[in-house]
Structure 1
Amino acid sequence: MCGLTGFWNGRGAGGETLRDQAESMSRQLTHRGPDDSGLWCDEAVGIVLAQRRLSILDLSDAGHQPMHSAGGRYVIAFNGEIYNHLQLRERLAAESAAPAWRGHSDTETVVACFVAWGIERTLQRCVGMFAFAVWDRQERTLVLARDRMGEKPLYYGWCSDTFLFGSELKALKAHPAFSADIDRNALALFLRHDCVPAPYAIYRGIFKLRPGHVLRMPIDAPRDGQPRPYWRYNDVVSKGLGDPLVCSDTEAADALEKQLGASISAQMLSDVPLGAFLSGGIDSSTVVALMQAVSRRSVKTFTIGFEEDGYDEAAHAAAVARHLGTEHTELYVRSADAIDVIPRLPFIFCEPFSDCSQIPTFLVSQLTRREVSVALSGDGGDELFGGYNRYLTARTTWKRMLHLPKFARQAMAGALRTISPAAWDSLVEHAEPLLPKRWRMSTPGDKAHKLAEVLLQPNGHAFFLNVASQWKDPESMVIGAREPSTLLTDADTWPSTGNLAQWMMAMDAQSYLPDDILVKVDRAAMANSLETRVPMLDHRVVELAWRLPLHQKIRHGQGKWLLRQVLYRHVPKALVERPKMGFGVPLDSWLRGPLRDWAETLLDEKRLRQESYFDPIPIRQKWEEHLSGRRNWQHALWTVLMFQAWLEASRRSSP
């Protein structure tokens, strides 16, 4: 895990100037690579590569970057890990294409593969998470690439006649050519999604390279280069559904355990201490169970707990850890400790980001980094195996709603809305002892009001966009904005599944997962110089998951059915079976309590009008309803607050 950055300047400049500019960019990424730094410059071409290193494999100088291939054709700045790099070395040897190895880093393996097979064939053969920039001296071409699922970030764009790229926006901003013009269209997307989805970024002219894409930029015609895919998620969906795995439940569980176990074993390769996040839920418990099954020593596991009811999973994680025999570390966090993280968020994420689980993710990463440099995570299980409640809703509630006339759905929605979320919560709390276990849920009031919104949607696609949106009409909220097309609104990019639940899973895996969850984990972990690995996103696990029929993912009103069967082989069912809980914080009460003055300052109507990004009227309305307790608008308000805090921080850090 590292950070990379660089630029190409066709005007040509003195080598000292180029190096000074690159050094300034590289320093912004020190948190991503505190162990080493390197810089390479070709003055004649005007291109510079810089890299910050977090040493994980080959801690010697042989792993130093930017790294040259044996013959000098390729120069690479690399971020990530190639889990099958030892197998790739064996393949090179079998083809008599292996160089005289200088060390045992995966980066050295990658550039050797470039020499033997070319860049795109190498991408097809790599198993890993990565983003890289490579200069091909022979073809005079700069190549940027990103891993299949989007675990590692890569920004790029033209600022005047300078092409900038880097792992985080803060590196690009350090170059004197950078222009920090906020893209109001991207801001509208942020209000809808909690994040700015790829390929967009918050600044005009800057983009994120999409997962599974490569960008080739020949210096002779640099602006002709356009990103193109080397791997398509929709192709995996189509191939998997067209060639389903026909076998018994036991055989399917065997296949899943074998592939997931192999992926986890490969991702445990490290020259530094390694551990895992453990929440006690299905995904993280499965990853830890399979880690412990192949480990000769107790796996180090980490979790944080909160004192507030409904937000604490630490006791569940501890029970799983005791059963598996892990070396478990837990830390109970006070609300004040979590709130103290908030001022750091604009600098950690460097563009607006408002998934409030960013706070506990940062805290558990901070705890984990005290003992290890690498942590495995259970992310990806929901999207691959049908874990989100909205997939169950699509199979049950939405299917039933289709048979109701429009006036009946409108009447039901009105009835649900007549009771406030707080009143719903109270009613369900009193009735909970009488309810079947599968009907119990957290935040029932918010879910009742979300159901009311769902009842008013015309079709399943509109239903999905509704549940994926914090603000339903962000274009009307952002002054002067036109909301751009995205995967969620461009039907030409949609996967063909023939089933709404599967369609939603495929959409989430290409939007919510890379744009929100993986961004959150990468930035929160890297702010603590911690590498995270996500074994469920090994593309071979993804491909197997799409061959599994839906009834082995969602069964008896429960998601992740097959993944649970794998877990039950290692952990008693009673330890992990409970209602799904998000990794969140009591944001609603914080906004009415300790964060109220801070939020009031950022949401001041006069301030909003002066800054002229937002229409203040709907924001103030939601703020007043939230303070009164009539509604819980925590997520919508947090989106605005995170932009306001980011905007304020950006102005303070501007030269």
Structure 2
Amino acid sequence: MCGIAGLSVLSIQAPADLVPIAARMGAAIAHRGPDAAGTWQHPALGVALAHQRLAILDLSPAGHQPMASASGRYVIAFNGEIYNHQQLRRVLDAAGLAPTWRGHADTETLLAAIEAWGLEGALQRCAGMWALALVDQHQRVLHLARDRFGEKPLYWGLSGSGTSQVLLFCSELASLRAYPGFNNAIDRAALAQLLRFGQVPAPLSIYAGIAKLRAGHWVSIPLPLTPGASLPRSQPWWQLSSVIEAGSTAAFQSDAEALDALEQSLSLAVAEQAIADVPLGAFLSGGIDSSLIAALLQRQSSQPLRTFTIGFEEAGFNEAPYARAVAEHLGTSHSETLLTSADARALIPQLPQLYCEPFADSSQLPTHLVCRAARQAGLTVALSGDGGDELFGGYNRYFWGPRIWNRLAWLPGPLRRGLGRAITALPPPAWDALGQPLPIGQLGHKAHKLAARLRYVRSSDDLYRSLVSEWRDPAQLLQGEPPDLEPTAIDQPLPACLSSDPIARMMAWDSLSYLPDDILVKVDRAAMAVGLETRAPFLDHRVAQVAWRLPMAMKIRGNTSKWALRQILYKHVPKELIERPKAGFAMPIGQWLRGPLRAWASELLHPDRLSQEGYLRPEPITRLWQQHLSGRYDHTTKLWSVLMWQAWFEQWG
């Protein structure tokens, strides 16, 4: 796991030494790779690469980057892991396509695969996660590519104008800000989408002219850059829609056959991802996903697995006891870290530094703290359960979203609005008290969230889009003329085979948007800030292929979520240790905003400050802030997106 950065200058610019600039861009993300730093340039092509190394495989200098292929044709800066690289080496050896191996780094394997099969052919054969910059010195092309689900980040775009224009690319925006003279404006459309989703969805970034390369995409840029030429559009080398379509025509014959295929694919993914030349462990929340990964990992290990969890001092949010019980049953070496409001206050000022662009999923706080605890305990690699919800039907909205719509769709708009007002008349704590017997965590927050959307939705798809959005019309929050908002991933059509299944549609959209733009961003930045590599076995593409072959009844059966995963897990962990309401990795940020974080938030949300900064209209924000402080409304997620923008802008604006 590493960080990459680089630049390409115009052909009319005189060949210059680009290494100092590339090194400066790399140093800005040294936290991603604290073990070594390297640069490479080709002055005639006007391109330079920088690499910050977190050594995981082959700790020797043979794993140093940027790395050249055996023939010298290709030079790569690679961030990620190729989990099946040993198998690829055997295939290359058997076919007589292997070079004389210099070491056992997966990057060397990838370069040999590229020389043998081309970049796209190599990527199709790889199981792993990555963002890469590859210079083909023969074809005079720079290739940028990203993994299937978007586990590793990659920004790219132009800065400057005229003869000073330059192409920049990097793992984190800190590298762009380290480029001399970088002054790209704030993208107001990206800001509006931040307020809508709590994150900036790909391909946007918070800076105009800079894009995120989409998950499963690559782009090839001729070198050197031609003055005035527009950049080529990225193209998909892998598409989830193809996996979904293939799965719809390859159903399993029985539950037993499906469960066997799923367990085999998961066990293989865990085994491959457990390969490392450094200390490795796992996150454990006590939920289905992390418990299953920990169980499979412990089954394959002769030593106690090291597991880590986070707890909260506030009642109703602490799942640490459940994780402890699972750890005791599995026999892992378990550690807990308790999060207090004081910890949150200490960490919040660091968030603009940890997250290179504004990001507003409040579970970023415990995620970083558990990563920090794992790193301080000596781990360099940690496996997680990310991806289990999206692939196997774990989110609460998959249950009650379609059901509620089916019961309320016939109601006229005025009646739905009246129902919404009735729901919000009861404050969230009262709903939580009423819902204690129900298997729904944070019922009050969810009830208020639903009520706020009842008047606007017109279909189950519309309800989903509303549920994953916070501010309904975020462009109206911006000062000045509202920006044009291009369609996002959740506005795009899905394969026809999903047309009649609203739950499968939600799961597909979550995999295309919420997973890469929120969950994986959160984990990558939280972990890489302390030089920790995280791995997600559920996101192995072979596991995903099995998941999309499963009928919905094997994901959600009756009132049971992730039914298939549970059947495998119960082979290793007693059912009674797992069955409880799903709470997620939530935290009591709403309570803290009314208490120990109130002064901090009030300063950032002050109407005069908002007016003077020139981006957000103070009136609607002030109104929601006062409602939230009253305790009768829970506007946590709306306010957190504004606060994270304000905190980020205070440091980087």
Quick check: 1:608–1:616 contact (8 Å CA) kept in 2?
yes
Q: Give the one of 202, 211, 218 matched to 1:207.
A: 211
| TM-score relative to the length of structure 2 | 0.96
Identical pairs, percent: 51
For 1:603 and 1:450, locate their aligned partners in 2 and report how far apart those are by CA, in whole Å. Answer: 22
1:329 is aligned to 2:332: no
Extract unaligned runs of 5+ from structure 1.
none
Structure 1 ranges of 4+ moved more than 6 A = none
- Give 3-state SS (helix, strand or coil) of 2:557's partner: coil
For 1:489 and 1:329, locate their aligned partners in 2 and report how far apart those are by CA, in whole Å. Answer: 38
For 1:546 and 1:492, locate their aligned partners in 2 and report how far apart those are by CA, in whole Å. Answer: 17
Give the CA deviation at 1:420.
2.3
Q: Give the one of 168, 192, 197 matched to 2:201.
A: 197
Q: How does 1:154-165 map to 2 (within 5 A)?
A: 154-160=154-160, 161-165=165-169
In structure 1, the residue matched to 2:84 is 84
Extract unaligned runs of 5+ from structure 2.
none
| TM-score relative to the length of structure 1 | 0.95
In structure 2, the residue matched to 1:620 is 622
After superposing the two structures, state which structure 1 stretch, 509-518 or 458-467, moved more.
Answer: 458-467
Could you tell me which amino acid in structure 1 is paired with residue 79 of structure 2?
A: N
Q: Give the one of 544, 560, 563 matched to 2:562.
A: 560
- Paired positions, count: 641
Give the CA deviation at 1:454.
4.4
In structure 1, the residue matched to 2:589 is 587
Quick check: 2:187–2:208 contact (8 Å CA) kept in 1?
yes
For 1:197 and 1:427, locate their aligned partners in 2 and report how far apart those are by CA, in whole Å. Answer: 36
In structure 1, the residue matched to 2:67 is 67
Give the CA deviation at 1:271.
0.3
Give the CA deviation at 1:455.
3.3
1:47-70 CA distance string (max 9 Å, x none): 100100000000000000000001
Residues 1:339 and 1:128: Cα distance change in structure 2 (over 3 Å): same
In structure 2, the residue matched to 1:187 is 191
After superposing the two structures, state which structure 1 stretch, 603-612 or 490-499, moved more.
Answer: 490-499
1:275-317 CA distance string (max 9 Å, x none): 0000001100000001011111111101121111111111111
In structure 2, the residue matched to 1:111 is 111
- Give 3-state SS (helix, strand or coil) of 1:70's partner: coil
1:377 is aligned to 2:384: yes
In structure 2, the residue matched to 1:174 is 178
Give the CA deviation at 1:121.
0.5
Quick check: 2:195–2:642 contact (8 Å CA) kept in 1?
yes
Give the CA deviation at 1:257.
1.0
Could you tell me which amino acid in structure 1 is paired with residue 243 of structure 2?
A: V
For 1:297 and 1:281, locate their aligned partners in 2 and report how far apart those are by CA, in whole Å. Answer: 22
For 2:369 and 2:634, locate their aligned partners in 1 and report how far apart those are by CA, in whole Å. Answer: 25
For 1:487 and 1:250, locate their aligned partners in 2 and report how far apart those are by CA, in whole Å. Answer: 38
- Give 3-state SS (helix, strand or coil) of 2:337's partner: strand
Give the CA deviation at 1:15.
4.0
Quick check: 1:217–1:223 contact (8 Å CA) kept in 2?
no
Q: How does 1:376-455 map to 2 (within 5 A)?
A: 376-428=383-435, 432=436, 435=437, 439-455=438-454
Quick check: 1:217–1:225 contact (8 Å CA) kept in 2?
yes
Residues 1:13 and 1:284: Cα distance change in structure 2 (over 3 Å): farther
Q: How does 1:566-577 map to 2 (within 5 A)?
A: 566-577=568-579
Quick check: 1:494–1:507 contact (8 Å CA) kept in 2?
no
For 2:484 and 2:633, locate their aligned partners in 1 and report how far apart those are by CA, in whole Å. Answer: 27
1:117-162 CA distance string (max 9 Å, x none): 1111001111100000000000000000000000000000011320
For 2:649 and 2:416, locate their aligned partners in 1 and report how far apart those are by CA, in whole Å. Answer: 41
Q: How does 1:492-531 map to 2 (within 5 A)?
A: 492=493, 496-498=497-499, 499-531=501-533
In structure 1, the residue matched to 2:232 is 225
For 1:482 and 1:237, locate their aligned partners in 2 and report how far apart those are by CA, in whole Å. Answer: 34
- Give 3-state SS (helix, strand or coil) of 1:51's partner: strand
For 2:236 and 2:249, locate their aligned partners in 1 and report how far apart those are by CA, in whole Å. Answer: 21
Q: Give the one of 521, 525, 548 matched to 1:546.
A: 548
1:349 is aligned to 2:361: no
1:482 is aligned to 2:483: yes
Could you tell me which amino acid in structure 1 is paired with residue 47 of structure 2?
A: I
Could you tell me which amino acid in structure 1 is paired with residue 289 of structure 2?
A: D
1:303 is aligned to 2:303: no
1:91-119 CA distance string (max 9 Å, x none): 11111010000000000001111111111
After superposing the two structures, state which structure 1 stretch, 419-428 or 455-464, moved more.
Answer: 419-428
In structure 2, the residue matched to 1:234 is 241
- Give 3-state SS (helix, strand or coil) of 1:522's partner: helix
Give the CA deviation at 1:239.
1.4
Could you tell me which amino acid in structure 2 is paired with residue 510 of structure 1?
A: L
- Give 3-state SS (helix, strand or coil) of 2:599's partner: helix
In structure 2, the residue matched to 1:471 is 471
Residues 1:422 and 1:329: Cα distance change in structure 2 (over 3 Å): closer
Quick check: 1:191–1:471 contact (8 Å CA) kept in 2?
yes
Q: Give the one of 608, 611, 614 matched to 2:610.
A: 608
In structure 2, the residue matched to 1:128 is 128
Give the CA deviation at 1:508.
0.2
Could you tell me which amino acid in structure 2 is paired with residue 128 of structure 1?
A: G
Give the CA deviation at 1:13.
4.7
For 1:52 and 1:225, locate their aligned partners in 2 and report how far apart those are by CA, in whole Å. Answer: 27
Residues 1:482 and 1:493: Cα distance change in structure 2 (over 3 Å): farther
Could you tell me which amino acid in structure 2 is paired with residue 190 of structure 1?
A: L
Quick check: 2:489–2:512 contact (8 Å CA) kept in 1?
no
Give the CA deviation at 1:238.
1.4
For 1:489 and 1:532, locate their aligned partners in 2 and report how far apart those are by CA, in whole Å. Answer: 26
For 2:304 and 2:331, locate their aligned partners in 1 and report how far apart those are by CA, in whole Å. Answer: 6
Give the CA deviation at 1:255.
1.6
